[in-house]
Chain A
Amino acid sequence: MDSKFGKILLDNSDVIIQKWIDEIEMLNGFNYSDSVSDELLESTNREFVNIIFSSIKDEGDTKRLKEFSEKLINLGWKVSYITDGLQVFRRVSIDFILQQSDQIDTSYISDLLQSVDEWIEPLIRQLVNEFSGNWENILSLQRVALQELSAPLIPVMDNITVMPLVGTIDTERAKLIMENLLEGVMNHNSEVVLIDITGVPVVDTMVAHHIIQAAEAVRLVGSTCILVGIRPEIAQTIVNLGIDLSKFPTKSSLRKGFIKALELTDRKIISTEEKDTSIEQMIESLGRE
């Protein structure tokens, strides 16, 4: 039964291909005309329709299909190109076969729909799988990349470590911050750790809670945590929220925090040139703030 319809399509492949290409070009005209050259669009359409026909001939070449989908993914085409294309093919071929048929009854139509589905469905399934597999791959790579960036620890000097935080802190990241902080304190033997929240857009009670917990944990292992990079608007919201951050030192900038950290580890910045004593005094006075 299937081969009967398949034969009609194959015998008239030129007509159907032309119809399909006409329709698809009209459709793609709206979507791709800006970003893709006409030649590329045409050659891709040709390749696509050939793949559909080879699937009808029952020589479903998965390798060729894979190459085709990889090409589309690399070009950054939308998955709707594939779904639209196959949808149009379904419509065109059904229209064509119905026109060619003399007697049409319900079982004929249901057979026709079924066999067209049998050609189209595996193609949709595989192509969409390729696309979504690609997205999942990108997503997991980005998740790993994000996690690597989420709680970096920089040992700037003996006994002093800095953790710059940029971006939103969610529960998962808060855990990672705590773990990395404690691990870093142990591994680098830090006496002082500076947490820089300059790049954290919103400090709500959850973020504050996690920072307080992290600082408390750092205190328990015998080190000091200094919270730096508190912008004026963040300071105001913290006060409005009524969050008590008085258990550990806080500074407005990393620079001030670093000087405080040097103080806590009994060190200070000394200029090597004699004539720069004025700068030294300035830095010292800053440290006393």
Chain B
Amino acid sequence: MAPKFCVDIKQEWDIVKARQLGRDRAREIGFGTVDQARLATAISELARNIYLYADSGKICFEITDETDRKGICVISLDTGPGIQNISRVMEDGYSTSGGLGAGLPGVKRLVDQFDIQSEEEKGTEIRVIKWLR
């Protein structure tokens, strides 16, 4: 099992902490600047969703090392209200907070793999992977 790092998201500045940690990890593994920026932005979106909708949660990082490829797995965990209609939030332009509504669909386009699980009143888990090219 690869080492796992977690950042608790409780206040707005924790978002910065999470994405800096993610960017550092990405740089260590050897991601280029563009992919570092993509990953940092994706982490920023996920962490902001926690901050905005779930009050508290955490962002975890795992280095995914497979025989033929290497990558970073970012897991966003929260115990918030959950998402009622997942297909709806994955549409561009849908937002409940008056934002751009580009967050989750944007994250999906920024990374290579995207899994979302959510249960109402229980929380949401989003797992994304960016492979090193």
**Contacts A204-B45, A206-B99, A209-B99 given; does A241 touch B37 at CB 8 Å:** no
A232 partner, pick from B12, B34, B40, B92, beta carbons under 8 A: B34
A241 partner, pick from B34, B36, B102, beta carbons under 8 A: B102
B22-51 interface bits toward A, Cβ cutoff 8 Å, 1 = contact, 0 = none: 000000000001101110110011001000
B-side interface residues toward A, CB under 8 Å? 12-13, 16, 19, 33-34, 36-38, 40-41, 44-45, 48, 92, 99-100, 102-103, 105-106, 109-110
B33 partner, pick from A168, A208, A233, A241, beta carbons under 8 A: A233
B37 partner, pick from A168, A170, A171, A202, beta carbons under 8 A: A202
Contact B37 A206 (CB under 8 A): no
B106 partner, pick from A205, A212, A236, beta carbons under 8 A: A205
* Distance between Cα atoms of A242 and B44 in the complex (Å): 15
At the interface, yes or no: A181 with Cβ under 8 Å from chain B?
no
Contact B38 A242 (CB under 8 A): no
**Contacts A203-B41, A233-B37 given; does A240 touch B99 at CB 8 Å:** no
A133-164 interface bits toward B, Cβ cutoff 8 Å, 1 = contact, 0 = none: 00000000000000000000000000000000
- Residue numbers in A under 8 Å from B99 (CB-CB): 205-206, 209
Chain A contact residues (Cβ within 8 angstroms of B): what range?
20 to 34
Chain A, 195-224, CB within 8 A of any chain B CB: 201-206, 208-209, 212
Main secondary structure of the interface of A (DSSP, over half): helix
From A207, which residue of chain B is reached at the shortest CB distance?
Answer: B44
- Residue numbers in B under 8 Å from A126 (CB-CB): none
Contact B44 A204 (CB under 8 A): yes
A226-267 interface bits toward B, Cβ cutoff 8 Å, 1 = contact, 0 = none: 000000111011001111000000000000000000000000
From A234, which residue of chain B is reached at the shortest CB distance?
Answer: B37
* Distance between Cα atoms of A171 and B11 in the complex (Å): 11
**Contacts A201-B40, A203-B41, A205-B99 given; does A240 touch B109 at CB 8 Å:** yes
* Distance between Cα atoms of A205 and B43 in the complex (Å): 12
From B101, which residue of chain A is reached at the shortest CB distance?
Answer: A205
Taking each of A209, A236, A237, which has the highest tally of chain B beta carbons within 10 Å of its own beta carbon? A237
Contact B12 A242 (CB under 8 A): no
Contact A171 B12 (CB under 8 A): yes
Contact B40 A202 (CB under 8 A): yes
**Contacts A204-B48, A233-B33, A236-B34 given; does A241 touch B12 at CB 8 Å:** no
From A171, which residue of chain B is reached at the shortest CB distance?
Answer: B12
Interchain nearest-CB distance for A278 vs B (Å): 35
- Residue numbers in B under 8 Å from A232 (CB-CB): 34
From B32, which residue of chain A is reached at the shortest CB distance?
Answer: A233
Contact A205 B40 (CB under 8 A): no
* Distance between Cα atoms of A237 and B40 in the complex (Å): 10
Contact A242 B105 (CB under 8 A): yes
